[in-house]
Amino acid sequence: MKLKHIDHIVLTVNSIDATCRFYSSVLGMKKETYGHEQHKTLVFENHRIKLQQQGTELAPHARKPTPGAMDMCLITDMEIDEVVTHVKLYGVQIEKGPIARTGGHGELVSIYIRDPDGNLLEIANYA
For this structure, is 122 an active site residue? yes
Residues 14-28 as b or e (16 or more Cβ within 10 Å = b): eebeebbebbeebbe
Instruction: Residue 87: name the closest of 127, 31, 27 by CA.
Output: 27
> Which candidate in 32, 45, 57, 122 is catalytic?
122
CA distances 73 to 9, 95, 96, 109, 121, Å, are 13, 14, 13, 11, 6
Instruction: Residue 80: name the closest of 115, 23, 123 by CA.
Output: 123
Q: Which residues are catalytic?
A: 122
